[in-house]
């Protein structure tokens, strides 16, 4: 009676290595800059989820529009207006959020936010002339790309 012979370890490893080459998958490695200093830890994940894409060019353009964390878009707009005009005028305009947003944005700006917590949002502000602003607006507001709130 002849016993089956078990292959030695080097032969077995060589056979396993040959089979592993069938599973090689090309991996694209992309070097990215760190997120903004005041951004939350999961900044890019939140941005990708809000835009519903992982397309690097769109995420890059949106990231360039990041203005910081605010209590609301209204607070951001009032702050921007108070730097450009009298603080009392900013307070007056801030009481009418919709009109303030439309006056600030017009056809020139795209402003949106992503919630960080119940009390804070990340605010983004891009010029509409940006090559990616229309694509971002279409993703954020698919039913009405001109909607700015």
Per-residue model confidence (pLDDT) at position 7 = 52
- Comparing C-alpha atoms, which of 46, 130, 129, 121 is closest to residue 76? 121
Per-residue model confidence (pLDDT) at position 104 = 72
* CA count, 13 A, side-chain hemisphere, 80: 18
Per-residue model confidence (pLDDT) at position 138 = 86
SS (H, E, C) 99-147: HHHHHHHCCCEEEEEEECCCCCEEEEEEECCCCCHHHHHHHHCCCCCCC
- What does pLDDT average to in each consecutive run of 10 residues of the chain (149 residues)? 58 54 71 85 93 91 94 87 65 63 77 93 90 86 59
């Amino acid at each position: 009676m002849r016993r089956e012979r078990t292959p030695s370890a080097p032969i077995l490893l060589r056979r396993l290595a040959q089979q592993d080459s069938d599973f090689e998958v090309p991996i694209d490695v992309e070097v990215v800059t760190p997120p903004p200093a005041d951004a939350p830890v999961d900044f890019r994940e939140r941005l990708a989820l809000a835009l519903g894409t992982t397309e690097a060019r769109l995420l890059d353009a949106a990231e360039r529009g990041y203005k910081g964390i605010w209590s609301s878009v209204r607070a951001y707009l009032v702050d921007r207006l108070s730097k450009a005009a009298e603080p009392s005028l900013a307070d007056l305009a801030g009481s009418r959020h919709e009109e303030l947003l439309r006056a600030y944005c017009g056809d020139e700006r795209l402003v949106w936010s992503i919630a960080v917590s119940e009390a804070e949002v990340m605010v983004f502000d891009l010029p509409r002339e940006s090559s990616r602003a229309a694509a971002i607006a279409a993703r954020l507001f698919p039913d009405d790309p001109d909607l700015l709130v």
